[in-house]
Amino acid sequence: MLRDGRVFVAGGEYGTGRDSAEVYDPATDTWTYAPVSGQGFLDSISKLLPNGNVLISPVVPSQPGLTVIYDPAANAWLAGPTLFRGTSQDEASWVKLPDDSILTIDPFGVNSERYIPALNRWVNDADVPVALYDSVGSEIGPGMLLADGRAFFFGSTGHTAYYTPIGTTNAGTWVAGPDIPNGQGTPDAPAANLINGKILVAVSPAPYPGTSFPSPTMLYEFDPVANSFSPVSTVNGPDVSGPTYPRILLDLPDGSVLYSGFDSQLYIYQPAGSPLAAAQPGIIGIT
């Protein structure tokens, strides 16, 4: 979502649009192509920058470790900084921290790095104490920003980890979180922040040799305060007999979560409890 309400989309994992990017304008109900970038946006990761531009890491870049920046005001591409280790961010999860830096765990190990917008540069960060990428399909789960400013990453391996930022170019601190219950993991799985401060996440049995995406899927609420997982009932809800990767969770403005399973049937999840006061945004001005 761009600052002016338009929607930017680059590539896709399936189909023939991996080399293209488009902008959707809801006011006119029209799509407009971005210029040709020369990059392969295959399952790419991206984040909105403080100036309204979009930072993207192509999975098939024209140069190793290259990132690119899309300027929506000019409908133009800008060169982005090379990643610290010069490797593709294929299957990675990015988290934008409170200081607007962007945190990633480099595929497919335990090294991490951050993008610093003020410097337009990637810097090295601390190593993660547990493996979150699995050794079968090289997948990881979602990374989420918590209300207290920390980041939390779910692992396809079933491990999890917390990151506490320092707010400078210095390395932050990683600590292991609780393992996902019952030997389950999050291979390419979705998650959504809930207004009560918890996280709704899809899990499945952890990948094992010959099966990168086991079934079935289960839904949990993770509570970072209690540091624990609670199962979510899907009775009268979505069909979760398949693996996690086709699932999509989207936060809605009213505090509920939209669920899609790669089919035409959508569901709404309504969390219990009151909105978390610490997570409410502060209004600094009106323009």
Average pLDDT, the chain: 94
Range name among 5-9, 15-19, 37-41, 279-283 with the lowest pLDDT average: 279-283
DSSP string, 261-282: -SSS-EEEE---SPPPGGGSPP
3-state secondary structure of 182: helix
Tokens coding 72: 């929506």
pLDDT at 161: 98
Q: Which residues pair with 152 in a beta bridge?
A: 144, 162
DSSP track, 18-31: TT-EEEEETTTTEE
Mean pLDDT of 34-41: 93
Q: What is the pLDDT of residues 173-220, one digit of tens each?
A: 999 999 999 999 999 999 999 999 999 999 999 999 999 999 999 999
Q: How is residue 155 written in tokens?
A: 């692992």
Q: Binning pLDDT at 50, 70 and 90, where does residue 15 land? A: confident
Specify whether the CB–CB gap between 255 and 245 falls below 8 A.
no
DSSP state, residue 277? G
pLDDT of residue 17: 85
Task: Write the pLDDT tens digit of every residue in 48-82.
Answer: 999 999 999 999 888 889 999 999 999 999 999 99
What pLDDT score does 264 carry?
84
C-alpha distances (whole Å) from 42 to each of 25, 96, 141, 271, 272 are 23, 21, 18, 33, 37
Task: Name the pLDDT band for 14 (thresholds 50, 70, 90).
Answer: confident
Contact of 138 with 91, CB cutoff 8 Å: yes
pLDDT in tens, 239-275: 999 999 999 999 998 999 999 998 889 999 999 988 8
Q: How many residues does the chain have?
A: 287
| Residue 279 pLDDT exceeds 90 | no
- Half-sphere CA count of 10, side-chain side, radius 13 A: 29
pLDDT tens digits along 82-141: 999 998 899 999 999 999 999 999 999 999 999 999 999 999 999 999 999 999 999 999
User: CA-based angle 264:189:202, to the nearest 5?
Assistant: 80
Residue 11 CB coordination number (10 Å): 23
- Which residue type does 38 have? G
> What confidence category does residue 12 fall into, taking pLDDT thresholds of 50, 70 and 90?
confident
